[in-house]
C-alpha cells in the first residue's frame, strides 16, 4: 500500500498500481477536461493558451481510469469527478459499465469566469461534477446529509480568486496558486464531509496544487495524491505542509 498522507510526482495510472484493491474510501478528483487538445486559444493572431498546455494536453483514457477507481474503492464508498459537459456522458457510461451506481450530476456555479476571447459561444459560469458510488454486497454507501439548504445539487462557491478566502497577500487574492483549473477548498471540503467520515482515506489522482489534500486535512481525513507536473507538485507540497501544521480546523483560511 502506498504511504498515506503523501503526494507523489508521477502519472496516476502508474501510481494506482501501488494501491491495493478496495482500500480507498473516496475518490474525488479534477482530471483534465481535454478542451485544449485540438486547437490553441487565440485572439486575432496572438496565441493566449496553446493546445499543448501541460494541464490539459493528454487525452484521458476514461474507461481505464474508471476501471481503476472501481478496483480500489471499498464497497459502500463514493466517486466524485469534475468534468466538462462533453465528458459527462462518457463518465456516466463507464461508471455504469463497471457496475457502479450513478447517483447525481452536480453543478458548481461560479460568480466569475475568464473572459470569452473568441466570442463565439456562451461564457461558462458552471462546471459539472459526476457523483457515483459502489453499493455492493448489501452495503449502503456513506452519505452524511447536512441541513436541507446545503444539500442541493447546484453548488454555489466562490472561485479561488476571491476575498472570501482572505485578504490579498503579496498581490495574490484568496487561495489562488497559479494552477489554471484550481478548485476552491471550501467546495472540496463540503463534498468530502458529505461522502466520507473522519479518518477515511481520500484519493485524488490528479492532485494539481494540492487542494484535495488541504480539504482532507482540515476535515480530519487522510489522503493520497498523484501529480505529474513538477511545478504543481512543488506548490502542493508547500500548501500541504502548512495545512498539516494547522491540523483539523473550523472555518476557512489560507
**Beta-carbon contacts of residue 39 (< 8 Å; ≥ 6 apart):** 51
Question: Does 189 score more than 50 pLDDT?
Answer: yes
Query: What's the confidence (pLDDT) of residue 117?
Result: 66
Residue pair 203/27 in contact by the 8 Å Cβ criterion: yes
Dist CA 146 CA 150 (whole Å)? 6
Question: Does 252 score more than 50 pLDDT?
Answer: no
Residue pair 47/59 in contact by the 8 Å Cβ criterion: no
Percent of the chain with pLDDT over 90: 65
Q: How confident is the model at residue 95 (pLDDT cuts 50, 70, 90)?
A: very high
Residue pair 203/216 in contact by the 8 Å Cβ criterion: no
Q: Quick one: cell of 183? A: 478548485
Query: What's the confidence (pLDDT) of residue 48?
Result: 44
> What average pLDDT score do residues 196-221 get?
96
What domains are there in the chain, each with its CATH number? 6-39+50-246 (3.40.50.150)
Summarised one tens digit per residue, pLDDT across range 16-26 is 999 999 999 99
Query: What's the confidence (pLDDT) of residue 47?
Result: 47
Question: Does 254 score more than 50 pLDDT?
Answer: no
Query: What's the confidence (pLDDT) of residue 111?
Result: 73
pTM: 0.86
Question: Does 229 score more than 70 pLDDT?
Answer: yes
Query: What's the confidence (pLDDT) of residue 15?
Result: 96
Query: What's the confidence (pLDDT) of residue 54?
Result: 54
Query: What's the confidence (pLDDT) of residue 36?
Result: 55
Summarised one tens digit per residue, pLDDT across range 100-115 is 999 999 999 987 766 6
* Least confident stretch, 43-52, 144-153, 187-196: 43-52
**Average pLDDT taken over every residue of the chain:** 86
Alpha helices in the chain (DSSP H): 12-16, 62-72, 85-97, 185-195, 211-218, 230-246
Summarised one tens digit per residue, pLDDT across range 36-83 is 544 555 445 554 444 444 545 677 999 999 999 999 999 999 999 999
> What average pLDDT score do residues 108-123 get?
76
**Beta-carbon contacts of residue 10 (< 8 Å; ≥ 6 apart):** 226, 228
Residue pair 23/72 in contact by the 8 Å Cβ criterion: yes
Tell me the CA distances in angstroms from 229 to 30, 35, 177, 211, one per residue in order: 14, 18, 14, 15
Higher-pLDDT residue of 37, 123: 123
**Beta-carbon contacts of residue 131 (< 8 Å; ≥ 6 apart):** 78, 79, 80, 102, 103, 104, 105, 106, 195
Amino acid at each position: 500500500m502506498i504511504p498515506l498522507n503523501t503526494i507523489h510526482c508521477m502519472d496516476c495510472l502508474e501510481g494506482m498500481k501501488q494501491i491495493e484493491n478496495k482500500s480507498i474510501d473516496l475518490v474525488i478528483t479534477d482530471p483534465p477536461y481535454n478542451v485544449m487538445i485540438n486547437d490553441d486559444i487565440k485572439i486575432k493572431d496572438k496565441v493566449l493558451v496553446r493546445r499543448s498546455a501541460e494541464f490539459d494536453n493528454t487525452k484521458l483514457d476514461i474507461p481505464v481510469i474508471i476501471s481503476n477507481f472501481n478496483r480500489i474503492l471499498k464497497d459502500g464508498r463514493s466517486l466524485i469527478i469534475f468534468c466538462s459537459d462533453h465528458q459527462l456522458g462518457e463518465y456516466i457510461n463507464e461508471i455504469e459499465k463497471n457496475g457502479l451506481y450513478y447517483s447525481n450530476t452536480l453543478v458548481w456555479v461560479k460568480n466569475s469566469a475568464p473572459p470569452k476571447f473568441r466570442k463565439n459561444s456562451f461564457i461558462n459560469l458552471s462546471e459539472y461534477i459526476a457523483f457515483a458510488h459502489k453499493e455492493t454486497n448489501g452495503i449502503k454507501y456513506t452519505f452524511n446529509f447536512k441541513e436541507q439548504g446545503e444539500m442541493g445539487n447546484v453548488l454555489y462557491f466562490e472561485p479561488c480568486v476571491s476575498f472570501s478566502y482572505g485578504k490579498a497577500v503579496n498581490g495574490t487574492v484568496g487561495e489562488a496558486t497559479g494552477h489554471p483549473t484550481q478548485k476552491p477548498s471550501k467546495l472540496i471540503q463540503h463534498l468530502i464531509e458529505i461522502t466520507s467520515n473522519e479518518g477515511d482515506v481520500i484519493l485524488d489522482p490528479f492532485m494539481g496544487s494540492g487542494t484535495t489534500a488541504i480539504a482532507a486535512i482540515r476535515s480530519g481525513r487522510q489522503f493520497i495524491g498523484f501529480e505529474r507536473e513538477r511545478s504543481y507538485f512543488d506548490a502542493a507540497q508547500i500548501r500541504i505542509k502548512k495545512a498539516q501544521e494547522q491540523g483539523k480546523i473550523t472555518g476557512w483560511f489560507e
